[in-house]
Amino acid sequence: MGGAKNCPETPRQKMIGMMYLVLTAMLALNVSTDILNGFTLVDNSLHSSIAASDTRNAKLYNDFKAANADNPEKTQEWFDKALEVQKRADSLFNYIQDFKEHIAILADGQKTVDEWKAQGIDPTMHIEGNSNLDVTGQYAIVQGNGLKLKEIVAYYRDYAAGLAEQDAELRNSIQQNLATERGYNAHEKDSCDWEVAIFDGMPVGASITILTKMQNDVRSTESQLIQYLMDRTDAGDLRVNKLNAYVIPNSNYVIRGGKYTAQIILAAVDSTQRPEYYVEGQRLNDQGIYEVAASGTGLKKYSGWISFQNPSSGEMEQLPFSSEYSVGEPAVTISNTDLNIMYRGYDNKFSISVPGVANDKVKVSVSGAAVRQQGGLWIIKPGDGSKSVSISVSAELDGRMQPMGSREYRVKALPKPGAYFKSGENEYNGEKPIPRSVLLNPNSTVIASYGPEGLLDLPFQIVGFRADINGVLMESKSNKFTKEQMDRMGKLKPGNSVILKDIRAKGPDGKVVPLSPIPLTLN
């Protein structure tokens, strides 16, 4: 993006400005009314200049819009400011136009603005009372509209100058073109307010021309601002104070048979230049892609440099770089988090991974069992008839699936747990007498467990048992004593016994298995 520096005035615009100054001076000397015809000529020329500005501005906005559509991340901030400039410039331009139309209608006193426009005519271009010296002062000064215009022009000028804070030349141009400082009035022969200097005692024809010049200045300022904002989108592209070389590999770990791929880049490089990339003395392609076959295992190191032209000094410079990657044999890590065998009808939990490969690129297939993913684990459940299960693992490398390894597991039925009487934190299997208070603990239960030293911790559920309480047999259909059982045990004395028998437990595979009895003796 780019363009002419802030759209400087063309020779035509400079000529129009000179004509305006000369005719204003001649008017101050009360030159003949033919001079008013000269103002009409200047006004017509200004209208042509405005039309040219409108065409130029429309093209700038279209170019800006297209650039924003291509790269909104880079241009959106500046394009939004350009649209705000357009909105404010149109508002001021239309306000000045309305100002002119009111003066023109007051001067003619025959038709309204709507009546003129209904005929497709701009009333400011067909004024009969061009020489009227009172109308402009009445509307602008007596009615206070000139002061309002001054405030609106100053507001737009300050906004535009603030937007161009990074360009002193443009900022000064805006402040001069839209100046509202005190001026000099030929009638009063003294300095006076801006609106008095411009409108007091001024013929209608001259006032209309002055206002048209203001409109031309608004459009000209708009052009300069839009070009400035377009230039700002590129302002930071090459303004860097540090350059670095980077190596960006697809992966630092490569499986034998695959490929190691990395991109070597120069940060903040000028897009108009083509740096040269070298690895171990060999020049790479213009994109800096380094690719080499992974033929052996182990750590691989390499180095090189980037040759480029320094944007500040214009001298050729070199930036060194180095990197490394590992090449390993095809491998897979498979571990059973419960044990090194699988159990039939049970959700065996496996952690399966391939070093250097993301989990979503790993595929697991199993024969002889159902398999599913749950969180970061693989759940493998062998069926009733399964005697062995084979796990095969593959991974996506360089865009294709590559086998990584497999392992076979024997399948066994879940081992039968032991039965325990649990009171508080303690578990009893009948090996030693227990206190009466332990037996009568209302929160005591019967559990199925592999014991404190067991390798498995599986969720078995006691579904019922019978208690032989000093020769009386009583049944419970849960893992706790019934009220009748508790009442009966409350009558026991030291040396009496309770034998828990016919204990039934339901395993995670859904099968109910009988457990060994638990003899309990009171001490």
Cα→Cα distances 432→435, 495, 497, Å: 10, 12, 12
Bridge-based pairing state of the strands 190-192 and 259-266: unpaired
Domain presence at residue 1 = no
Domain presence at residue 224 = yes
Q: Which residue's structure tokens are 């009948």?
A: 430
The verdict on 223 and 99 lying in the same domain is yes
Fill in the DSSP letter of residue 205: H
**Distance between CA atoms of 262 and 508, rounded to whole angstroms?**
50
- Indicate the range of 77-81, 237-241, 415-419 predicted with least confidence: 237-241
Domain presence at residue 2 = no
Measured over the CA atoms of residue 127, residue 130, residue 132 and residue 138, the dihedral's sign is: positive
* pLDDT confidence tier of residue 127, bands split at 50, 70 and 90: confident
* pLDDT confidence tier of residue 3, bands split at 50, 70 and 90: very low
- What residues have CB less than 8 Å from 164, skipping those under 6 apart? 170, 171, 174, 224, 225, 228
Domain presence at residue 209 = yes
Q: Reply yes or no on whether the pLDDT at 270 is more than 80.
A: no
For 416-444, the pLDDT digits (tens) are 888 999 998 888 888 889 998 898 999 99
Q: Reply yes or no on whether the pLDDT at 120 is more than 70.
A: no
At 459 the pLDDT is 84
CB 354 within 8 Å of CB 331: yes
At 13 the pLDDT is 53
The verdict on 403 and 424 lying in the same domain is no
Q: Which two tokens stand for residue 492?
A: 């026991």
Q: Reply yes or no on whether the pLDDT at 30 is more than 50.
A: no
User: In terms of residue numbers, what domain contains 470?
Assistant: 418-521
Residue from 306, 334, 300 nearest 318 by CA = 306
Q: Report the mean per-residue pLDDT for the chain.
A: 81
The verdict on 367 and 515 lying in the same domain is no
* pLDDT confidence tier of residue 320, bands split at 50, 70 and 90: very high
Fill in the DSSP letter of residue 522: B
- Indicate the range of 139-143, 192-196, 311-315, 477-481 predicted with least confidence: 311-315
**Distance between CA atoms of 320 and 249, rounded to whole angstroms?**
17
Torsion region of 279: left, alpha or beta (phi above 0 gives left; psi -120 to 50 gives alpha): beta
- The average pLDDT across 456-464 equals 87
- The average pLDDT across 309-318 equals 73
Residue from 374, 371, 332 nearest 352 by CA = 332
In this structure, how many other beta carbons lie within 10 angstroms of the beta carbon of residue 477?
A: 11
Domain boundary among 397, 412, 427: 412
The verdict on 151 and 106 lying in the same domain is yes
CB 336 within 8 Å of CB 342: yes
- The average pLDDT across 477-503 equals 92
At 456 the pLDDT is 73
At 503 the pLDDT is 94
Domain presence at residue 281 = yes
Domain boundary among 278, 312, 328: 328
**Distance between CA atoms of 439 and 491, rounded to whole angstroms?**
12
Fill in the DSSP letter of residue 517: -
Domain presence at residue 5 = no
For 198-234, the pLDDT digits (tens) are 888 888 888 888 899 999 999 999 999 999 998 888 6
Q: Which two tokens stand for residue 471?
A: 């020769």
In this structure, how many other beta carbons lie within 10 angstroms of the beta carbon of residue 457?
A: 10
Q: Reply yes or no on whether the pLDDT at 304 is more than 90.
A: yes
Residue 405, domain CATH? 2.60.40.10
Q: Reply yes or no on whether the pLDDT at 7 is more than 50.
A: no
Q: Which two tokens stand for residue 277?
A: 């990339």
The verdict on 398 and 496 lying in the same domain is no
The verdict on 31 and 154 lying in the same domain is yes
- The average pLDDT across 324-341 equals 68
The verdict on 27 and 173 lying in the same domain is yes
- The average pLDDT across 190-204 equals 83
Alpha-helical (H) ranges within 233-269 are: none
- Indicate the range of 34-43, 216-225, 363-372, 395-404 predicted with least confidence: 34-43
Q: What is the dihedral of CA 469, 473, 479, 480, to 10 degrees?
A: -50
Strand partners, 424: none
Residue 302, domain CATH? 2.60.40
CB 469 within 8 Å of CB 488: yes
The verdict on 185 and 323 lying in the same domain is no
In this structure, how many other beta carbons lie within 10 angstroms of the beta carbon of residue 456?
A: 13
In this structure, how many other beta carbons lie within 10 angstroms of the beta carbon of residue 290?
A: 21
The verdict on 372 and 407 lying in the same domain is yes
The verdict on 402 and 432 lying in the same domain is no
CB 9 within 8 Å of CB 53: no
Q: Which of 182-186, 328-332, 367-371, 452-456 has the highest mean pLDDT?
A: 367-371
Domain presence at residue 3 = no
Q: Which two tokens stand for residue 322?
A: 């180095």
Q: Reply yes or no on whether the pLDDT at 241 is more than 50.
A: no
At 101 the pLDDT is 87
Q: Reply yes or no on whether the pLDDT at 92 is more than 70.
A: yes
Domain boundary among 348, 383, 412: 412
* pLDDT confidence tier of residue 324, bands split at 50, 70 and 90: confident
> Between 391 and 187, where is the model more confident?
391
At 129 the pLDDT is 66
Residue from 224, 488, 251, 245 nearest 356 by CA = 251
Query: Cα–chain-centroid distance for residue 103?
Result: 53
At 247 the pLDDT is 67
- The average pLDDT across 324-344 equals 70
* pLDDT confidence tier of residue 78, bands split at 50, 70 and 90: very high
- The average pLDDT across 137-148 equals 91
The verdict on 38 and 101 lying in the same domain is yes
Measured over the CA atoms of residue 213, residue 214, residue 218 and residue 224, the dihedral's sign is: positive
Fill in the DSSP letter of residue 32: -
Domain presence at residue 108 = yes
**Distance between CA atoms of 378 and 74, rounded to whole angstroms?**
45
Total of domains in the chain: 4
* pLDDT confidence tier of residue 153, bands split at 50, 70 and 90: very high
CB 7 within 8 Å of CB 223: yes
At 48 the pLDDT is 86
Angle at CA of residue 100, ends 94 and 103, nearest 5° = 145
* pLDDT confidence tier of residue 240, bands split at 50, 70 and 90: very low
The verdict on 367 and 486 lying in the same domain is no
